[in-house]
Amino acid sequence: MLAIVCPGQGSQTPGLLTPWLELDGTSGLLEEWSTATGVDLTAHGTVSDEATVQDTAVAQPLIVAAGLLAAHSLHLDSLPTDGWIAAGHSVGEITAAVLAGVLPASEALEFVRIRATGMAEAAGSQPTGMAAVLGGDPDEVLAAIEAHGLVPANANGGGQVVAAGSSEALAALAATPPAKARVISLKVAGAFHTPYMASAVPALKSYAETLQPNDPQVTLLSNRDGRAVPTGRQFLDQLIDQVTRPVRWDLCMDSLREAGVTGLIELLPGGTLTKLAKRSLKGLPSLAVTSPADLDAARDFVAEHAAPAE
């Protein structure tokens, strides 16, 4: 049984799409998807600098498009529907929704455009941010986050919790970290997955009302509780809710373990989720897609693990 996972914001790097433009058909896909997102994905994926690709309005469409590009190159749409599980972290849930057949790419990219624009505007309304808290006693870490008026916005497993909230409160947490824990500021524009993002929700709801999502064709996990979502409408509703709710990636990994997953592949821009899996799903074979040079190994990995669990 294969897990196909899709990373979230923060996984993007300057020039991540440059080598992919050498593949046949890539330029046309990026041009089509650029129209859908209103973002020049070719430019931002090749020549834009770090500050530009960290902009929420750019980063989210770029990450989803990168994941879809890798999926296209791996022909994942030809996999049997009973041989794999899909999951995404934060904005990666939108990529996963396409893989599972809930939304076509065009609608998913419009969805991420609206999401990214709304979240960027919300982030710019007041000084907020996020910080990773690594190590420490889990209960003490959560207590410290809440004592500073912050939100545990990402529970990522493997001893990593991401706190989010006002910049002032994050600075106070960093100055007095929980015992045996480190607090590392993240290069993100705002307090994502908290009530600070509430202003981004109405536009997403309005757009979602125009859509007719399909039910997932494969097991599709939600960041809300790590559980499979049975209907496309429910998954779409939960995508909207997750704008202001914490990401429970730890629970997604628990579900992958319970499902008997034998291998985990992370789509472009790969690396973040495979690292988390190495800590929380010890011994599970994994592979991160970072460039076209990984495609042959990725195809072999998919062929080995994309089969029903016995």
Annotated active-site positions, please? 90, 193
Select 128-185's CATH number: 3.90.79.10, 1.25.40.10, 2.40.30.20, 3.30.70.250. Answer: 3.30.70.250
Between strands 128-135 and 181-185, the pairing is: antiparallel
Question: What is the model's pLDDT at position 308?
Answer: 57
Q: State residue 187's pLDDT score.
A: 81
Structural domain 2-123+194-305, CATH architecture: 3-Layer(aba) Sandwich (3.40)
Distance of CA 295 to the CA centre of its chain: 20
Q: Structural domain boundaries of the chain?
A: 2-123+194-305, 128-185
Nearest Cα residue to 17 out of 41, 53, 52:
41
The ranges of the chain with pLDDT < 70 are: 308-310
Phi first, then psi, for residue 156 (nearest 5°) are -95, -5
**Per-residue pLDDT tens for 221-235?**
999 999 999 999 999
- Residue 275 C-alpha from the chain's centroid: 14
Q: Are 2-123+194-305 and 128-185 in the same CATH fold? A: no
66-100 pLDDT per residue, tens: 999 999 999 999 999 989 999 999 999 999 999 99
The values of phi and psi at residue 265, to 5°, are -120, 130
Q: Are 164 and 129 in contact (CB under 8 A)?
A: yes
Predicted local confidence at residue 190, as pLDDT? 94
